[in-house]
A and B are shown apart, each in its own frame.
Chain A
Amino acid sequence: MGNIGILIDVQDGQVKETNYGVVTAAASGAGEKIALVVSDNAVDCKDALQKYGVTKVVHVTADTPVDSDPEAQGKAIAEAIKNFDITTLVGLSTAKGKDQMARAAAELDAPAILDVMALDINAKTVTKSHFSGKTYASIGLTGDVVVIGIRMNAVEAIEAGGDATAESFQASVGGAGRVTITEIKKVESKTVDLTEAKIIITGGRSLESADNFAILRECAEVVGAAVGASRAAVDSGYAPHAMQVGQTGKTVSPNLYIGCGISGALQHFAGMKTSKVIVGINIDKDAPIFSNCDYGVLGDLFEVVPALTKAFKEKLG
């Protein structure tokens, strides 16, 4: 009977809050809950991780710098899996998490299912979207080691208490890899990252200009929401592609999704249909979004959104 490894997504030396849901998903499993923190630098996270049920925190490094070397990261994780007798590795399906899990799984020839919406950690079964969210597949994994990537916000973090030990592990990955990260081009944004956000407000073609997205940003700021866009808005140049929600954009799973002037096309739904609550604001009572959402506000977004900003301020402020 092996242990459960929890791959922690560290960015700029910080543990993202969305990691804690992954710890909760692992907490019901048998064996030790071993957090793997892969970085050249120490990351202060033991207190936070043990609060959610981690029993051991391992700082993973390698005999070559890992932060700029994705291949070394994958190999170091594979080594740690063997060293700590990990039979199930769970992690967050961020760009970095997916990359690391796919590399480690390929290295070990272990099965992996990424971006799952639900899982039974002991039975090694998961539920994940197929066909752009049109169907949900139940999938079973078999093998000595299995890898499961969890969609952000899919599992709610629950504090579990407890104490964790801490140690470090240096993997031998056989020298520097062939893939080198030479630079990270950051976009500075005041708003919250889409895939991590608990609340998302999106705008469509009907916003009519990039400047008009300001009304969505004002509203978003009040509730700490992220702002997204439909493809029509992106293609019209009102928003960058990084903001696109949908099949060819980001897949998001917030608690609350508010689509403003979004018709509700299938390909848009592919990226947001697993949101807990969906609100549509649309001027057309026959807009498709109204036939597949929780609350529909029939009105002009240029009037409704500022009114909503005001209501948020008054009722939550």
Chain B
Amino acid sequence: MKVYVCIKHVPNTAAKITLEGSTAYDESVKFVVNPYDEFAVEEGLKLADGDEVILVCVGKETAVSTMRSALAMGASRGLLVTVGEQFISSGVAAQAIVKAIQADGEPGIVLCGKQSVDSEGMQTHYRIAKGLGLPVVSEVAAMAIADGKATIERELEGGSREVISVALPVVIGCTKGLNEPRYPKLPDILKAKKKEIKQIPLSDLGIDAAGKTAVTNLESAPERGAAKMITGDAQSMANELVDLLINEAKVL
């Protein structure tokens, strides 16, 4: 089964985001495969059963490094649709991914993450599915494929799960719990350097980079600063805290 995996090039979640101007940030931080997309890569490698696993990414040229990390996990090759800006609308990213896949081959399955950790859009895979005319299921925490059908467990609030049946091909949004992404070994990292990454400028696909959403400002989340400290014996601290929560913070 030919597998397409959509991976986004995002800053490591531990990285400090230093803002520059109104919507830019210092991009000299470490970039990684979007953590939820790592589950997608791992699942793709399991499902491909010897067939190709093709990575698709829409990003700046620097995303090549991220694609190499996923190639080192075992993916076959990559398609990188290059764009100039960091925040492109989900609609634009999805269109680019759809066109790149359609020009490349027939997907048996398309695997995505349930969300990206930079822009937290939570929707690109739905738009990819619409563009490819395929069904989609997100927040997938377990999946089994038999007889051309996927039986999926989708995570809901409070730990409940929906069991879903869907015929392939399908677009999947992966979440934690689906599998344990493998760590590439040195020989795999070296091998990945030789794998093909085809770069396609967004404009070659006839897609306009301007979408229907625009980030107009980015600001650091307000920090609370140091806590008002409460010390003493356990019961007096507990009493003081409850009084503060009632009278000062007014949350009780």
Cβ distance A303 to chain B, nearest Cβ, rounded Å? 4
Q: Which residues does chain A contribute within 8 Å of B1, judged by CB atoms?
A: none
> 1/0 per position for B128-163, CB-CB distance to A under 8 A?
011000011111000000000000011111111111
List, in ascending order, chain B residues with CB within 8 A of A241's CB.
159, 176-177
Give the docked Cα–Cα distance between A99 and B228 (Å).
Answer: 40
A-contact bits for B231-252, CB 8 A (1 contact / 0 none):
1001101110111111001011
A195 within 8 Å of B (CB atoms):
yes
Is B211 a contact partner of A111 (Cβ separation < 8 A)? yes
Chain B nearest CB, measured from A269 CB (Å): 9
Indicate if B221 sits at the interface (CB-CB under 8 A): yes
A173-187 vs B, Cβ < 8 Å mask (1 yes, 0 no) = 000011111111111
Q: Is the CB of B227 within 8 A of A135?
A: no
Chain B residues with Cβ below 8 Å from A297 are 230, 237-238, 241
* Interface residue tally for chain B (C-beta within 8 Å): 80
Binds A, one of B13-21, B46-54, B61-69: B13-21
Instruction: Return chain A residues, CB-CB under 8 Å to B25.
Output: 135
Q: B218 to chain A: which residues have CB within 8 Å?
A: 130, 135-138
Tell me, yes or no, whether A82 is within 8 Å of chain B by CB: no
B196 at the interface (CB under 8 A from A): no
Is A277 a contact partner of B251 (Cβ separation < 8 A)?
Answer: yes
Residues A184 and B135 in contact in the complex (CB < 8 Å), given A241-B177, A307-B237: no
Question: Within the complex, which residue of A102, A133, A138, A295 is in contact with B230, where a contact is CB–CB below 8 Å?
Answer: A295
- Chain B nearest CB from A197 CB (Å) reads 10
A20 close to chain B: CB less than 8 A = no
Give the distance in Å from the alpha carbon of A245 to the alpha carbon of B218 in the complex: 24
Once bound together, how far apart are the Cα atoms of A228 and B105, in whole Å?
A: 44
Task: Indicate whether A51 reaches chain B with its CB closer than 8 angstroms.
Answer: no
- B103 an interface residue at 8 Å Cβ cutoff? no
Q: Are B135 and A177 in contact (CB under 8 A)?
A: yes
B213–A140 CB distance below 8 A: yes
Asked if B221 and A273 make an inter-chain contact with CB atoms under 8 angstroms apart, the answer reads yes
Tell me the dominant secondary structure on chain A's binding face.
Answer: mixed
Asked whether, in the complex, the Cβ of B229 is within 8 Å of the Cβ of A298, the reply is yes
Tell me if B188 counts as interface (CB < 8 A to partner A). no
- Rounded to whole Å, the gap between the CB of A104 and the closest CB of chain B is 9
Q: How far is the CB of A237 from chain B (nearest CB, A)?
A: 14
B238 touches A304 (CB 8 A): yes
Given contacts A106-B127, A131-B11, contact A94 B238 (CB under 8 A): no
Among candidates A106, A128, A134, A294, residue contacting B130 with C-beta atoms closer than 8 Å = A106
CB-based nearest A residue for B137: A179
Q: Does B28 contact A (CB under 8 A)?
A: no
Q: Which of A181, A243, A290 has the most CB of B within 10 A?
A: A181
Contact B153 A185 (CB under 8 A): yes
A 202-225 binary contact with B (CB < 8 Å = 1; else 0): 000000000000000000000100
Alpha-carbon separation in the docked complex, A285 to B227 (Å)? 11
Whether A247 touches B13, Cβ cut-off 8 Å, given contacts A178-B167, A296-B229, A300-B234, is: yes
Q: B76 at the A/B interface (Cβ < 8 Å)?
A: no
Residues of A that sit less than 8 Å from B by CB: 70-71, 94-96, 98-99, 102-103, 105-107, 109-115, 125, 128-143, 146, 149, 177-187, 189, 193-196, 199, 223, 240-243, 247-249, 255-256, 266-267, 270, 273-274, 276-280, 285, 289-300, 303-304, 306-308, 310-312, 315-316
Of the A-B pairs whose beta carbons lie under 8 Å apart in the complex, a sample of 6, sorted by A's number, is: A109-B130, A131-B13, A292-B225, A295-B249, A300-B234, A304-B234
Instruction: Please report B residues at the A interface, Cβ cutoff 8 Å.
Output: 11, 13-14, 16-17, 19, 23, 25, 35, 87, 89-91, 117-123, 126-127, 129-130, 135-139, 153-167, 176-177, 211-221, 223-231, 234-235, 237-239, 241-246, 249, 251-252
- Name 11 extra pairs, CB < 8 A, besides A138-B216, A297-B237, A315-B246: A102-B122, A131-B117, A137-B217, A182-B164, A189-B158, A241-B177, A270-B13, A273-B221, A290-B227, A307-B239, A308-B238
> Which 4 pairs show the lowest CB-CB distances between chains A and B?
A242-B159, A296-B227, A111-B212, A307-B238
